Amino acid sequence: MTNWPIYRAAVAILSALQAHGYDIHKLTQQSAWEINRPDGSAHYLLIWLPRPVEEWALLPNDSSPEHQALWTLIQNALETNP
């Protein structure tokens, strides 16, 4: 990943998620990471969507409490480390 602002944002997000007990695995040659709970209760994919979208996406995009908690952690990490 050569876009430094995106790299810094990713580091902030991933650090926050790891601090809350999530396992993170980088996907090869993509701006994407698998996010898992160690107990297997949650599995998500965090992706940076390039132009023209230019935003983070958490898939699957559902309304579960786990998704909402993850998305809150991501938003807080981005606000804390712009």
Residue ranges per domain, the chain?
A: 4-80
CATH class label, 4-80: alpha beta
Q: What amino acid occupies position 20?
A: H
- pLDDT for 52-79, tens place per residue? 888 999 999 999 999 999 999 999 999 9
| Arithmetic mean of pLDDT, 44-58 | 92
Contact residues for 27 (Cβ-Cβ < 8 A; gap 6+) = 33, 34
pLDDT at 5 exceeding the cut of 90: no
pTM of the model: 0.85
> Which pair of structure tokens corresponds to residue 19?
């601090």
Evaluate if residue 82 carries a pLDDT over 80. Answer: no
- Rounded to 5 degrees, what are φ and ψ at 6? -70, -40
Q: Which two tokens stand for residue 16?
A: 């926050």
**CA–CA gap between residue 12 and residue 35 (Å, rounded):** 14
- Span 37-59, mean pLDDT? 90
